[in-house]
Amino acid sequence: MPVGPRVPFDQPPCPGDGYIWTPGYYQYGDYGSYWVPGAWVLPPSVGLLWTPGYWGFASGRYLWHEGCWGPQAGFYGGINYGNGYFG
């Protein structure tokens, strides 16, 4: 599991109507964990909302649970991602 606080940054202004903020997350790479910043994105269809991915502890290790688009935002690990995303 990545350790440390999420990297602080100012959320950029929304680029236009219909965009949804997708919060950042930690990811593992060849040299350890790194922060992937959030971004404004257009949903694949009108009316869909983004449920962010999250790291969860299960079976003695941390596992990544992928985010997904759906008709409502779901539970995403009880994590305060900031910028309006609370678990």
Q: Domain extents for the chain?
A: 20-70
pLDDT at 5: 53
Please report which confidence band the pLDDT of residue 1 belongs to, taking 50, 70 and 90 as the band edges: very low
Residues 22-49 pLDDT 10s = 888 888 889 888 888 889 999 999 989 8
Give the pLDDT confidence of 2-27 residue by residue, as tens digits. 445 555 667 899 999 999 988 888 88
Would the pTM count as exceeding 0.95? Answer: no
Q: Which two tokens stand for residue 87?
A: 């678990």
| pLDDT at position 73 over 60 | yes
Mean per-residue pLDDT over the chain, rounded: 79
